[in-house]
Amino acid sequence: MNNPQETADRLGSASGGNGFAPDTAGSDAACTLGAFGWNEQWQTAFEAAPKPAAGLVPARVTAQFTNQYRVRCEAGELAAEVSGKFQFQASARGDYPAVGDWVLAQPLPGERRAVIHGVLPRRTAMIRRAAGSVPEEQVIGANIDTLFIVNALNGDYNVSKIERYLVAAWESGASPVVLLTKADLCDDAGRRVAEVESAAPGVPVHAVSALEDQGRGELAPYLRPGRTIAVTGSSGAGKSTLLNWLAGEERQHVQGVREDDARGRHTTTHRELFPLPGGFIMMDTPGMRELQLWDAGDGRQEAFSDIEALAASCRFRDCKHGAELGCAVKQALRNGSLDERRYASYKKTGRELAHQAKKEQAVTKRAKKSADKRLAARENQARPAIDYD
């Protein structure tokens, strides 16, 4: 196994030089698991979980740097890696721990590090398609209660982008809330709020400004003790600024946006949990230029529930909303009750998810074919040779 200094060095390198070196004095042990969301339900799940090793304790993943983790247990903050058996048994990228996960950790005696042997079943998980040509899921964050979808009221404001995040949010199981940040830069924030509300049925929408301390009171119902809130959105939308504002102090370094196109610079380079005053936990995430959806059919139905309701009223159950008679969707487009932009967004996400599903099926088919060939080869090797003499 690696020595603790090598682990700490790798963590520091992965986080761009401002990495994690676990505390050596254990002075943070007084910050109990309750401050990170531990409760009776998680205790029950921990007790029911198989224990593949001795000395396992519950811990929450508070940060991730490639294949290295920072976890918090009753003993304090530890550097962690998954066990070799865990790696062998993991069948997909999504099986590995993610920030927000509760894990079965084995603290190593006399060291400020631990080995992760298992992950407790997730209650919620925000997932996107990972970058690359092979379709693969990436867990952005786990066990999230409320997801703040952040979009700035500057040149980066985009309702269609918000709709994409809502698809992933509904699919995750967390409760989405849209925050329109930098409201001080917008002369008509109320109109923008109304636009987003019409594109996000049933989702709370708030205009806030950290600079002018505007809208904090509206967020109070979400900031309850023990609740985990994730913040997601594009670079420069004000996610880290929002965290610092709610914390009452600087927890994350922030940078400005480019003046020519209002695009943000990547301030947050990794996902991380922060326990904040008031007892809630906030997860900051790196900005995403574009959210690639992953297996989000149910989330799409929820995010576009108004269009789904119209489609259910069409005369024909298999209506494609083209030239069919009695199409309620086309009628809504004609009379203006359904926005053309929103319908285009609905169709685009549908095409994207259908295309992705086909790619996943192809990859699964190839993987099964390869597995069958390996199995057949092993069986042939194990079969005794026939003596024809």
Annotated binding-site residue numbers for Zn(2+):
314, 319, 321, 327
In sequence order, what DSSP letters do the residues of 271-317 get, joined into one string?
-EEEE-TTS-EEEE----SS----S-HHHHHHHTHHHHHHHHTSSST
Please give the helix or strand (H or E) that residue 154 lies within, else none.
none
- 257, 263 in Cβ contact below 8 A? yes
Buried b (16+ CB within 10 A) or exposed e, 279-309: ebbbbbbbbbeebebbebeebbebbbebbee
Structure tokens at 174: 């967390």
- CA within 13 Å, CB half, 154: 21
DSSP 33: G
Residue 231 CA to chain centroid, in angstroms?
A: 9
Q: What is the token pair recorded at 192? A: 């923008």
- 59: helix, coil or strand? strand
CA angle 141, 217, 306 (to 5 degrees): 60
d(CA 4, CA 77): 13
Residues found in the chain: 389
- N-term to C-term CA, the chain: 54
Q: What are phi and psi of 65, to 5 degrees?
A: -130, 95
Lookup: tokens for 285: 């995430």
Closest to 12 (Cα-Cα) out of 77, 66, 93, 75:
66
* Tokens representing residue 4 in the block: 């603790």
Distance between CA atoms of 64 and 50, rounded to whole angstroms?
24
Three-state DSSP class for residue 107: strand
Residue 67 is given by DSSP the state T
Which of 106, 174, 93 lies closest to 137, judged by CA?
Answer: 93
Question: Which alpha helices (DSSP H) does the chain contain, by range?
Answer: 4-14, 40-48, 84-89, 159-172, 189-199, 216-219, 239-247, 297-303, 305-312, 328-335, 340-382
Q: Which residues does the annotation place in the binding site?
A: 181-184, 233-241, 314, 319, 321, 327
Q: Which residues are annotated as a binding site for GTP?
A: 181-184, 233-241
